[in-house]
Structure 1
Amino acid sequence: MTRTWWLIAIFLLYFTGLLGREQGELQRLTIFFTNDVHGGIVPQKAEFLNPDFPPMLGGAASAAAIIKRVQAQAAREGFPILLIDGGDIFQGTLVGTLSKGKAVVEYMNQIGYDAVVPGNHDFDLGKENLIELIKASQFPWVSCNIYDAETGEHWKWVRPWVIVEKAGFRLGITGATTVGTEHMSFPEHIRGLDFRNEVLSLQQAVDELRAQGADIVVALVHTGLPYD
């Protein structure tokens, strides 16, 4: 998908007040959301600030500092944090490509991501490489619309959805990967995979998460800017 240039690699999506278990009790949930990181875990020259002497800006260290600061606050004040990513994690930079994405996964492991959805570019080195990244991840990869073309079942290396417990709430997380992956990736990189309609697949996932008692459902959708 089109690369989103991340100066500090992190977007604070929203803070929201939620009703707790006891009537009238408000709970705070903080969601951090990143997407289209594209291996941008090292600082970049911010020429827009000073074209003659551009300062270095952004990267994993800056993002980690922001996240850790809020994580520390959350630990003190007792509110939950959800940290998620919308895919395309490594393609596009030397560190991402030469490490085959492992450097980005190591960073995500250290910072404590809760879930990631595969983007179309995460298949750029083939599904076998993505499988190795998933194996190395200390967080689940979720996508409800990637199926095994032979068995008709969800592709076993990604979960269609997960439920995580945060401060007494059951938070359902699902994801969808653009069907355009079938046209944007080399056929041999996605051989044996079936990318089904995102909307229909997401509705099924949301219904299942609700049936399993999810209090809130979060969808990680990697389908392009007009749709995300």
Structure 2
Amino acid sequence: MGNRRDFLKTVSLGTAIGTLGLSSCITNNRITKITILHTNDVHSHIDPFPANHRKFPNQGGFARRAALVKQIRKEEEHVLLLDAGDIFQGTPYFNFYKGELEIKLMGDMGYDAATIGNHEFDNGEHELCKQISKADFPFIITNYGLDGNKLKTLTHPYKIIQKGNIRIGIIGLGIKLEGLVSPNNYKNITYNNPIIEGEKAASFLKEKENCDYIIALSHLGYDLKEGMIRDIDVAKNTTNIDLILGGHSHIFLDTPTAIKNKADKRVYIGQTGWGGVKLGRIDIVFNGDKKETELALQAHL
């Protein structure tokens, strides 16, 4: 994450507000600013990377990220903290604690929601259920059929979070586990097409639950090989998803990728690498009609 903020390009949906003009006092009767913080593929990196690490010396770590999130919450009124999966696997902490430490620290940090990555199944469904049952934040998975599986009672197909006057619907899109996970580790789980299921859930949230904005937490991957359903495919082939926060492909996107959806509206895709090295940030401004007018800033912190 580094010791200073690396503010990157401003991405405007209308007239640019710009970084300096976007103050924490922007929420009033007309305008609401939502600050979205996001992680993905942390892979059990509790501590910072070692000082002699080739790419990320002394970077990352839960303690540093927690301090940064705490500071941002002091500065901003409406903050969401989200994770796009692969919380588990990658250091001896996972081998010893089986994911319990990661779940506890995320709860202490105040995560609002997470989705499930393929590495969450590394110790099998029973162990995943055991760890998720200890979480005080929701795990969201929309496109897995879970009939006959205990995960059905421990996860949510969607979640609605109110921030100020804005209703935000959150869905979770999981990758096809076949070929990535031992079949014995995901019995009674059916992979359903994330484009179809994602659009179905997003439409329900907007049309029936009156949500103003839909975020998809995705572990599909950004631009994997053809033949696999990717974040880019979801963005192009849906109409009601507004923002995709992705994982799995470990890509550091300096600014969100803009993709035109089926309704010729821009959908943004964000992803923030791996290992907890950086904390993604996207600020969105809504006008008095609860329509987003600016995606004013992405920062990798």
Q: When the two structures are superposed, what TM-score results if normalisation uses the length of structure 2?
A: 0.63
**Corresponding pairs, count:** 209
On the 8 A contact 1:15/1:28 being kept in 2, the answer is no
On the 8 A contact 1:142/1:158 being kept in 2, the answer is yes
> In the alignment, which residue of structure 2 is the partner of 1:3?
none
> In the alignment, which residue of structure 2 is the partner of 1:196?
192
Question: Any unmatched runs of 5+ in structure 2?
Answer: 18-25, 224-229, 232-301
Residue 155 (structure 1) shift: 3.0
On the 8 A contact 1:12/1:31 being kept in 2, the answer is no
On the 8 A contact 2:27/2:33 being kept in 1, the answer is no
Question: Is 1:28 the counterpart of 2:30 in the alignment?
Answer: no
> In the alignment, which residue of structure 2 is the partner of 1:114?
112
Q: Distance in 2 between matches of 1:172 and 1:149?
A: 23
> In the alignment, which residue of structure 1 is the partner of 2:42?
37
Task: Give CA-to-partner distance per residue, 1:107-135, whole Å, 9 cap, x none.
Answer: 10001000000001101111111111211
> In the alignment, which residue of structure 1 is the partner of 2:172?
175
> In the alignment, which residue of structure 2 is the partner of 1:136?
134
Residue 72 (structure 1) shift: 1.4
> In the alignment, which residue of structure 1 is the partner of 2:240?
none
**Where does structure 1 differ by over 6 angstroms across 4 or more consecutive aligned residues?**
11-17
Question: Any unmatched runs of 5+ in structure 1?
Answer: 1-5
Q: When the two structures are superposed, what TM-score results if normalisation uses the length of structure 1?
A: 0.82
Q: Distance in 1 between matches of 2:27 and 2:211?
A: 14
Task: Map 1:59-74 onto structure 2 (within 5 A).
Answer: 59-74=61-76
Q: Distance in 1 between matches of 2:60 and 2:104?
A: 18
Residue 7 (structure 1) shift: 7.0
Percent of aligned positions that are identical: 31
Higher RCO (CA 8 Å, separation ≥ 6 residues) = 2
- Alignment CA distance shift 1:195-1:94 (3 Å): same
Taking only aligned residues, the RMSD between alpha carbons, in angstroms, comes to 3.0
Given candidates 52, 57, 62, the residue that maps to 1:47 is: 52
> In the alignment, which residue of structure 2 is the partner of 1:165?
162
Q: Distance in 1 between matches of 2:170 and 2:146?
A: 21
Question: Is 1:214 the counterpart of 2:219 in the alignment?
Answer: no
More helix by share: 1
Amino acid at match of 1:91: Q
